Amino acid sequence: MSENKVIDGLIYSKELEQYVDIKEWLQHIMSLANSTQEWNFDLKWTSCSDSEGNRHYEPYIKVYTSQQAREITQLLNDEGFEAAIDLYEDEDGDDDYGRTIIRKIWSVRLLGIKLNEVINIKN
């Protein structure tokens, strides 16, 4: 699989064999992600910057469990979209016995998508 790449607001759709608007492409991905689940997943954005201060935004799909992350990633990859499971862990204080609570936050990254602005997608 080749990595997704946005050029002048367009991205290549393997399904259509042509370049399409990135917003339409993201809407299609969210339709696929929400088509087989009882959950309604949301498209979220990570704000990133490089060492020179250049900023960009990267989309991801917020899921709730590792199983959902695996299923959505597999579905998107099977449809020709480059996606990967992402896990973010953080400390959420201590429990009543002094043990550290670690939160696991699962998501599906849409690889190679770097945009200058956030695109609002309606579910």
The answer to whether residue 53 is domain-embedded is yes
Task: Assess contact for 44 and 122: CB atoms under 8 A.
Answer: no
When divided into structural domains, the chain yields a total of 1
**Structural tokens at position 49:** 């910057």
pLDDT class for 1, splitting at 50, 70, 90? very low
Q: 3 in helix, strand or coil? A: coil
The lowest-confidence range among 22-26, 52-56, 90-94, 104-108 is 90-94
Strands (E), 1-123: 6-7, 10-13, 18-21, 42-49, 55-62, 83-94, 100-110
The answer to whether residue 94 is domain-embedded is yes
The answer to whether residue 122 is domain-embedded is no
Q: 81 in helix, strand or coil? A: coil
First to last CA, the chain: 27
pTM for this one? 0.81
For residue 4, pLDDT over 60 is answered with yes
pLDDT class for 2, splitting at 50, 70, 90? low
For residue 12, pLDDT over 60 is answered with yes
DSSP secondary-structure letter at 79?
T
**Strand ordering across the sheet containing 55-62:** 42-49, 55-62, 100-110, 83-94
The answer to whether residue 80 is domain-embedded is yes
Euclidean distance between CA atoms 56 and 52, whole angstroms: 12
Q: Tell me the residue range of the domain where 24 lies.
A: 6-110
The answer to whether residue 120 is domain-embedded is no
**What's the mean pLDDT when you consider all of the chain?**
86
